[in-house]
A = this chain, B = another copy of it.
Amino acid sequence: MYPSGFQSYVEPGPLAEPLCGARRPGHFRGVCTVVAKLFALSRADTAFFGEKDFQQLLVIRRMAQDLNLGTEVVGRPIVREKDGLALSSRNAYLSPEERQGALGLWRALSEARARFKAGERDVAALERTATGVLDQHGLRADYAELRDPIELRRPAAADETTRLLIAAFAGKTRLIDNGALGETG
C-alpha cells in the first residue's frame, strides 16, 4: 500500500481534532489515507463501519464525501458481550482483572444515561458521573466527553442525541466506547 516514495496523505479536518484526534496525533490522517486508498481501489458502493469507533465513522464518512470517492459510509451499531463490554480485538489483551474493570466503560455510559433520564442536562455534571464510574473500576480515563453526534462539538446542554464518548486504559490497553444519552443500552 505504501510504495517507495509514497508521500501524499489525506488530511481530515475539524471532526478529527478532538477526542482520539487530540490524543493520537496523525492517527486519523493515517486512517483516512489508507481508507481512501481502499475505497479508490475497490470502488465499493458501500462500506460499513462500526459505531464503537464513532469519531472514525464520522471522519471517514466526511472524507469519502469530500473527495467524491463514490463509497457510501454506513454506520453499524456496537456489538456487546452479554455483560455490556463492547466487542474489540483489544479485549484479547485484557487480564481477567482488567476484563472486569473494562466493564466500567459500559457502566459509565449506563450511569450517565440514567442520570440523563432522571433529568440531568448539565454537560460537566454528566461527564463527572462517567469519570467517577471509570475511577471506581480502576480505569484511567483518557477522556469522557459529551459531544453532538454531527460535528462532535461540545453542546451547551445535553439532549437525547448528545453522545458520551469514552476512552480509558485498563492496564496498558486503551479501550473506547460511546453512545447517545437518549438510547437505552
Contacts and interface: CB of A to CB of B under 8 A. Distances in A.
Nearest to A41: B68
The size class of the interface chain A forms with chain B is 20 to 34
A3 B62 CA distance: 11
A48 to B, nearest CB: 20
A9 B8 contact: no
Interface stretch (A10-18, A115-123, A125-133, A166-174): A10-18
A11 B16 CA distance: 15
Given A37-B67, A40-B40, A62-B5, A11 B10 contact: yes
Interface string A1-33: 001011111111111000000000000000011
A8 B36 CA distance: 11
Nearest to A69: B40
A37 B6 CA distance: 19
Interface of A: 3, 5-15, 32-33, 36-37, 40-41, 43, 62-63, 65-70, 151
